[in-house]
Structure 1
Amino acid sequence: MMRRSMVPNLLETTTENLKQQKKFSFFEIGKTFYKNKENKFYEEKAIAGVLVGQDMKTLRTILDGFVRSLLPGVDFVVEQGTEITYLHPNKSGFYRTDTKVPLISFGSLHPGVAESFGLANADVLLFEVDYQKLSHHFATASHTFSEIGKFPGITRELNFVFAETVPVSTVIAKISSVSPMLSSFSVVDIFRDATKIGADKKSVTFSFLIQDLTKTITDEEALVIQEKIIKK
């Protein structure tokens, strides 16, 4: 079947998954089809995903990290509202770079669409990436490559509480500046609770690799770097 959007399939999968669990997320990379001016079909790649039982701040954190990791040095802005009919007009937005054309559209599922898929009582967030535009920016962006280590490293996790307005990518950049032996950063968990950590704050657990390219790093050496991160 030649589909113009992956969203209907994602929502059908969401409906089935909700029978088993109330909080989950997933994405798909697939193909969509459109007609050109000559009335001929052409194929495009697409990326779309769903978050259920999670809030908009979590989605924004994921998308911020996605854009910054794939397009380092590329300036982007986030604007409110979208013309996409399956998204809520007042609870949606889009990422764009140098043009008004959205790079990523995101938001809450429109109530009417939610009802038609049996999702009226679920908190469903969606995002859809313009794969062609993303590929163009990725091809022209500046990328830094590093040698693959031959010696085993040590994976550590640290938790930090900071203001909601501070992007996760900013904290990762600050951690990575501590030592050239730090790499493979990822977010393990994001926790928000006004009564426990304060309003407008988030608790984020980061995972990272400490690896020396010239030798096997010791626990003591890794601990020194970890303490420097905490002091930073």
Structure 2
Amino acid sequence: MEKMMGATVGEETFAALLGSIGFGIERREEGAFSISVPSFRLDVSEFMDIVEEVARLYGYERIPPKIPVGMLRVAPFDSSLKKRRRIKEFFVSAGFFEVMNFAFFSKRDLQNHSIKESDGRYLAVSILNPVSRELELMRTFLLPGLLKNVSYNLNRGVRNLRIFEIGKVFTRGTDGSPEERYHIAFLLTGKEREYFWREEIRDYDFFDLKGVAEAFSEKFLIDISFVRGREPFLLEGTTTDLFLGGQKIGSMGEVKGETLERYGIEQKVFACEMDLQRVLSEMAFYGTFQEIPRFPPVVRDFSFYVDEDVPVELVREKIRSISPLIKSVGIFDVYKKEKRSVSFRVVFQSLEGTLTEERISELQASIIQELVKIEGVNLRT
């Protein structure tokens, strides 16, 4: 008892203190007592409770304080955890709410997303003793959980949502054994903000979603490229595959109406999911300082006819690759009539000096010369 309590209490004092609150004390031998607990003290069930009673009656102030002695070890630096925290901070600062779902789903979720047996996501890890049929498989992607979050909120009157989740997915490796990987998924639905009497608030669209993905890429210095793709649960024409270092890391687009109907959702949803493991390996933990340019930028606009089957992102990336003096390439107009016309705004800038008109003309000529080599791209005159 003295070791637990941290103070020495004599046997007589010990017996007197417990006897004063109705405990029965019977000495058995030297240093040993038989204690009977009053029937109304239901809170006393073990020896530690007796020690607590004695300490309380003896007086906590009479027990000398002692600092515990032990070895303190610094936890190893987990860069992956810190990077995930920074990503969460980015999404929260962008107006998103984080959700945390169970890592289980059902075969119905695979069917709801039209996942075929040939798809790697169909080969889910089964649970031997599932709580219910709805939780019989380990999830292979995060989107089903987020759509359930949307359905839950819509049923309670919350129609404007920006939510994200970072969590593990479970797939089968080449040898059939389960593998765990971190994914990130985020979605937009409803209107960009609450109603305001002075103006009509617009609905979210695909470009809001793509804007978040681009901001994510720029924030963490990750060179993500966007290429037209296909997903069984995303609307054709909006489906975009995300590539990093030549490897596909995810997809984004507008969720198909038939998929939304299966979750009881009656408004448009724009979603993106990425393999976070690949992103973390390329993500810089600390950014690098770039010198503020001392020389003015030069802006030039270009307009091209671009066939529908030619991805605009391909044209944009081609322009960026022509010269290191090209600092940014943006799209400021798309016009469709007989042909699709796309207008690009290109910013030229040098850190070493002011660009001359002659140098700008050479760069303009190079851009036009390289782009007309792409089949389906012609200069608009």
TM-score of the aligned structures, taking structure 1 as reference length: 0.55
CA distance, structure 1, for counterparts of residue 228 and residue 175 of structure 2: 35
Task: Map 1:94-173; keep pairs closer than 5 Å.
Answer: 94-99=241-246, 101-119=247-265, 121-139=266-284, 143-144=287-288
- CA distance in 1: counterparts of 2:254 and 2:182, whole angstroms: 23
- Name the CA shift for 1:25/1:34 in 2 (closer, same or farther; >3 Å): same
| 2:197 is the alignment partner of 1:51 | no
2:95 match: none
Cα deviation, residue 111, structure 1: 2.1
Distance in structure 1 (CA, Å) of the matches to 2:175 and 2:244:
30
Q: Does 1:23 align with 2:173?
A: no
Q: CA deviation at 1:47?
A: 0.5
Q: State the partner residue of 2:232.
A: 85
Quote how far apart the aligned CAs of 1:142 are. 7.5
Q: Which runs of 5+ in 1 are unaligned?
A: 146-232
Q: Which residue of 2 aligns with 1:161?
A: none
Instruction: Find the aligned partners of 1:86 and 1:55 in 2 and give their Cα distance.
Output: 17
Off by >6 Å, runs of 4+ in structure 1: none
Aligned residues: 142
Pick aligned residue for 1:64 from 191, 209, 214: 214
- Identity of counterpart residues, as a percentage? 26
Instruction: Kindly report the root-mean-square deviation, in angstroms, between the aligned alpha carbons of the 2 structures.
Output: 2.5
What TM-score do the two structures reach when normalised by structure 2? 0.35
The structure showing larger relative contact order (alpha-carbon pairs under 8 Å, at least 6 residues apart) is: 1
Higher percent of residues as strand: 1
Which residue identity is paired with 1:35? Answer: R
CA distance in 2, matches of 1:77, 1:5: 21
The residue aligned with 2:68 is: none
Measure, in 1, the Cα distance between the counterparts of 2:261 and 2:288.
Answer: 46
User: How far does residue 135 in structure 1 lie from its aligned partner after superposition?
Assistant: 1.3
Cα deviations by residue, 1:8-60 (Å, 9 ceiling, x for unpaired): 11111110111222211100011110111222111111101111021112111
1:152 aligns with: none
Q: Secondary structure at the match of 2:248?
A: coil
Query: In the alignment, is the contact (CA less than 8 A) between 2:227 and 2:240 conserved in 1?
Result: yes
Counterpart AA for 2:236: P
Q: Partners of 1:56 and 1:48 in 2: how far apart?
A: 15
Letter in 1 for 2:182: K
| Equivalent AA in structure 2 for residue 60 of structure 1 | K
Relative distance call for 1:38 and 1:29 in structure 2 (3 A) is same
Q: Distance in 1 between matches of 2:226 and 2:170?
A: 27
Matches within 5 A, 1:185-204: none
Q: Distance in 1 between the 2:174 and 2:249 partners?
A: 23
